[in-house]
Amino acid sequence: MSEVIKHGEVNPNPQGRANLPPATMDGQGVIDAYHDLYQVERSFRMAKSDLRARPVFHHDRDAIEAHLIVVFAALAVARDLQTQTGVSLKKLVQTLRPLRTVTIDIDGHTITAKPHTTQDAEQILAKLPPVAG
């Protein structure tokens, strides 16, 4: 049921337009929930632009669910990296994207070319747990 409040009328719902009884969530709880929603939406906007993501169109339920799982996993990893390093996703991507290690095997001879790391990259990497391997 949707309720329209015309300009100049008093809102018949004193709790606001959320239509939640105060026992379910008080006013501050509603504000906090909207703030959390804003943060999630902001994260998706940043992630899409910072990671140069393009729109993906899926037509069947399995593909849509798989896509959402990948998106949420990427968002979780991004948020964890931001929390651990104190660096924005944009800065993380700009700083760490160029880092590539290449291993070449020619006739049983293995050559590993490691990237040149900048001071910014070293500071970020120092804040992360070591990679096992």
Confidence (pLDDT) at 44: 65
pTM to 2 decimals? 0.54
How far, CA to CA in Å, does 103 sit from each of 110, 111, 112, 122, 124?
Answer: 7, 6, 4, 21, 23
- CB half-sphere exposure, 85, CA atoms < 13 A: 24
* Nearest C-alpha neighbor of 30 from the set 45, 15, 47: 15
Sequence-distant (≥ 6) Cβ neighbours of residue 117 within 8 angstroms: 99, 125
How far, CA to CA in Å, does 40 sit from each of 34, 43, 109?
Answer: 10, 5, 48
Confidence (pLDDT) at 111: 92
Condensed to tens digits (0 to 9), the pLDDT of residues 26-49 reads 778 877 777 777 777 766 666 666
Condensed to tens digits (0 to 9), the pLDDT of residues 98-123 reads 998 899 999 999 999 988 899 999 99
Sequence-distant (≥ 6) Cβ neighbours of residue 86 within 8 angstroms: 127
List the structure tokens of 34: 């909207």
